[in-house]
Amino acid sequence: MDTPESGDVAGQVDPEVIELASRIFDFARGGETASLAAYVDAGVPADLTNDKGDSLVMLAAYHGHAGAVEALLSRGADPDRANDRGQTPLAGAVFKGEDAVVRALLAGGADPAAGTPSAVDTARMFGKDELLTLFGAA
């Protein structure tokens, strides 16, 4: 699984907007739930993505921040939004072994069969039988 990292904003955009977007992506990576929620509440799209298609949910999920994931999902973020490689936040959380994030995403409506590889495929790849049972795919 490719790692969602720092190359965040592409194209011709005002440098101040790029700086703000980078800060918001860092809030997601760092699990700064209150700051992230405040920006989304102020109008930042809950499904904001970087230049690799990684959403705020993807970054929070991949870095193990269940609280940030829950906050974004409660503000309308798509739990199944895949990045440019077809990877979903749930598959990323399975890959990283972030069980609390997996549960938060499932509670938020994430589909274990979505994406390439899906969370089900990822759990099978890594022999995570308990997750396969949780996904109903055992």
pLDDT value of residue 10: 52
Give the tokens for residue 125.
Answer: 């790849």
Q: Are 118 and 82 in contact (CB under 8 A)?
A: no
* Rounded Cα–Cα distance for residues 101 and 5 (Å): 18
| pTM of this structure | 0.88
* pLDDT higher than threshold 60 for residue 7: no
* pLDDT higher than threshold 80 for residue 1: no
Nearest to 26 by CA among 56, 48, 54: 56
Structural domain spans, the chain? 15-134
pLDDT value of residue 11: 56
* pLDDT higher than threshold 50 for residue 70: yes
Residue-wise pLDDT tens digits, 85-128:
999 999 999 999 999 999 999 999 999 999 999 999 999 999 99
pLDDT value of residue 6: 46
Q: Where are the alpha helices (DSSP H) in the chain?
A: 15-30, 33-41, 56-62, 66-74, 89-96, 99-107, 119-125, 129-134
The pLDDT-based confidence of 42 (bands split at 50, 70, 90) is very high
* Rounded Cα–Cα distance for residues 130 and 108 (Å): 19
* Rounded Cα–Cα distance for residues 119 and 94 (Å): 6
pLDDT value of residue 14: 84
| 15-134 is classed CATH 1.25.40.20 | yes
Sign of the Cα pseudo-torsion (101, 87, 76, 52, in order): positive
The pLDDT-based confidence of 38 (bands split at 50, 70, 90) is very high
